[in-house]
Structure formats: C-alpha cells, structure tokens
Structure 1
Amino acid sequence: MINNISLAFVVLIASTQAYAVESLISLESHYSAKETADRFESIIKDKGFTVFARIDHQKNAAGVDLTLRPTEVIIFGNPKIGTQLMLCNQMAAIDLPQKVLISEDADNKVWLSYNNPQYIKQRHSITGCDKVIDKISGVLNTLSVAATAQ
C-alpha cells in the first residue's frame, strides 16, 4: 500500500510539473545594461508603445548608500493589446502594464527579462484567448530580441 501511495504521489508531482510554466523569460543581451534599456525604450517608443516609467534601482540604491548592480525596470504598454487581455479576464490587469527588467548578474552578464504571457494565462485561468496570448508573446519576444541582439 505504501508503494501505491508513493507511486501516486510521484505521478501527481510529475503531472503538476508538466503543466507548470516558467514565470519569466530571460534573454542575454550583447550590450551593457544601460544600453540594453536605452535600446528597448527606443524600440518600444518607435512601435507606438507608451513608456509609463523607467526605474533605475541602482541609482535609487546609491541614494540610500547601498550598492546594487545595474538594475532597471521599464513599465510600458499599448491599450490595443493590453485591453484585449483584460477582456479575457479582468484580473490580468494586475500584471499590466507590461514590464521588462534589465539587470546585470554577478558574472557581468546582462539580461532582459519579462513575465511569460503563458504564465499570466495560467495564473489567471484564462481560456479561449490563445490568439491574444500568442500575439502578446510574439510582440514581447520580437521587442526583446531587437533590444538584446547584435
């Protein structure tokens, strides 16, 4: 009986992991953190997105006598896309507007990261809106690759 319970537990854990989605997508950048952030901001503005804020956490840390590797968050959006996601499930608004994190790790590698739209879909139990999720995924990927690739 213990073997059957153990087996059932392993199957349950394995099946749960099969449906788990990574919450963040990260791309390594070929540029410094500042240049990556500048490139991303320029690209999204050129594409008609609104930049709501650009937060320089490194600068804010220095303001309170703390040291932090380069870390910036850009908050941006486009109501034509974001509203479609909220129409699928209004609770998705907690994850909007979109954000990207540009950070430098301990190995001096620069990363651009963003919330995986598939994770947002799973988090809010969104059904019947795969076209919207796929569109958002494609747009975020295209913007991020443009900002990080040589």
Structure 2
Amino acid sequence: MTAIVTSAILIACGGESPIDTSRYAPIDSVVGQIKENLATADYLREIADIDHSRLAHEAESPIPPARVIIFSDPELETSLIQENPLTALDLPLRVLTFQDGDDGSPSLIYNSFDYLLSRYGLNPEETLALSKRYEQSFATAVAGVSSQVLTQFASDVMQPDGIITIDSPFDFEETVKRVNEAISAQGDTVQFGVVDFQANAAEAGVSILPSHMILFGGPGPGGKAMASALTLGLDAFCQKFLIWQDEEGVNHLSFNDLLALAERQGVSKAPALRVINFRLKKTFGDALAVE
C-alpha cells in the first residue's frame, strides 16, 4: 500500500541543558511498544512521533515527559469522512503517553468512539461497524501495553461549538497555499506533516471531496500551555488544521478551539493557551481574508 502521507518524526535532543534521559525511559518504553505494533500491522501506518517534552525542553519551556504517536487507518478514516467531513479534524488516530504523577509512572490515553459520536452527531446504529474498526485499530496499536497504564477522560462529551471554521473565498489550492504560508511565517512554528485524505480514499477506489490536514505546532508556546495540562498533547498539540470542501464547492479551514478542548478534558486554561487560541483565530482569519 502506497502511503499518500508526509511522515514526520520529531524528537528534539538539543537544548540549553542536558536532558535527564532516565526520566523518559518509562514513556519511551511504552511508545516503543506502540511503534512496534504499528510497524507490524499491515492496515495501519505511522504518521508522526512527536515528543512534546523534548521539543519543549529544546525551546526552553520544559514540561514532564509526554509523547504522542499519530497513526492512520485509511479505510476507517475514509468511511468516517463520508459520514461527516469534519470528523477529519480528529483524524488520523493518535495515542498520548505521558508522565502521570511524581513517581514517573506512564499513562496512555486516547479518545473513545463515543467522543466522535458526541462531537460530530454520528448515528450509533449506522456507525456500529466503524466503531468496531476504530476499537480494533487502537487495540492493535496498544497491544502488549499494561492495562495499568491505560487511562481515559472523565467525559466523552464534546460539543460541536469547539470547532472553529473559517470560510475561504479562494479555491482549494490557493486556500492550502495561504494557510501554509501563514504557518511558515510564524518564527516559532514547526510543521510535523500533512495528510491528504482525498488521495488516501482514491487509493482505495473511493471518491470523496478535497480534505487536507496540516499538522504543526510551536514547541515553546505549546510547552507553556501544556505545563500543567499534559493531556492537551493529545488533541490541542500538535495543532491540526483541516482544509476541506463541502458539497456546494465552498472551501473551509477548520481547527480546534483550544479552550473548548481544555474544558472537555477538565484541565487548566493557562494564559499561554488563551494567547495561542487568539493567535490562531487572528492569524488564519487574516490569511483567508480578501485583500
């Protein structure tokens, strides 16, 4: 199977001071098991390995160990996008391993299918097969990880108003170009990869409307926002920008309201998080404004 995905493995090793690698060992061990599972599963593909903590350390915004693996099940993703194009905002799939508590023990968390049902108004009966495939993909990814490591959010409820959508007056290619230029213009931002959901669907012989995901983030600001809220490393960081076209031919940019994600997770809405949220709305609203 040919991957229509730009992959990225971002693990920073620099920084102003040496990293105590021993504190990362429990998290790295769990991540190593996940990566091995993905490498041997013929229907899954790793997209990105983003080590939030090491990147934040390099950006002089140190946080406890936290590392997210982003991986793709193209068949599942295509089917979900057919149900609701906005589900792509929670794709590809991802698992976060992070230090939970002062003893250095790892925890692993990901969103349940009930979260997608709630956020995107999916019909539970009509998506039963997709639910099983979703659960299978995550079971494959975390196989061999101790059940004591697995944890979950207190709530699977997420309202659709947690999604910010900006309509674009430009064609699809110009919209992608302008968003990428706006990202590149930010001096503290790193791009982690892109996913072309339409191309992935075409590879399987399925036709869907244009749908393009950009994965990016700023390790310095992101580290400050995650310092007391590591689980934001699952949904809020890296940031996910979805550029998609609706059935009327209108192009849109959709991304997460970071404060809504923090509300759902029950974690701190740090000033740094509020600044990033404002910056995203302003920067990309301007990028898609008619001059």
Asked if residue 123 in structure 1 is aligned to residue 238 in structure 2, the reply is no
**What is the RMSD computed on CA atoms of the aligned residues?**
1.6
Q: Tell me: CA distance 1:68–1:50, structure 2 relative to 1, closer, same or farther (3 Å).
A: same
Q: Tell me: CA distance 1:66–1:100, structure 2 relative to 1, closer, same or farther (3 Å).
A: same
Measure the CA separation in 2 of the matches of 1:58 and 1:128: 34
Measure the CA separation in 1 of the matches of 2:190 and 2:213: 14
Task: From 238, 250, 265, give the equivalent of 1:97.
Answer: 238
Give % identity. 26
Kept in 2, the 8 Å contact 1:25–1:113? The answer is yes
Measure the CA separation in 2 of the matches of 1:55 and 1:111: 16
Moved over 4 A (4+): none
In the other structure, the counterpart of 1:41 is 180
Greater relative contact order (CA < 8 Å, ≥ 6 in sequence) = 1
Structure 1 unaligned spans of 5+? 1-19
Asked if residue 79 in structure 1 is aligned to residue 212 in structure 2, the reply is no
SS at match of 1:106: coil
The one-letter code sitting in structure 2 at the alignment partner of 1:110 is N
Structure 2 unaligned spans of 5+? 1-158
Superposed displacement of residue 98, structure 1:
0.4
Superposed displacement of residue 128, structure 1:
5.8
Measure the CA separation in 2 of the matches of 1:128 and 1:103: 29
Measure the CA separation in 2 of the matches of 1:50 and 1:61: 27
Q: How many residue pairs get matched?
A: 130
Task: Using structure 2 for the length normalisation, give the TM-score.
Answer: 0.43
Kept in 2, the 8 Å contact 1:41–1:51? The answer is no
SS at match of 2:209: coil
- CA deviations 1:56-82 (Å, max 9, x no partner) are 111111122111111000000011111
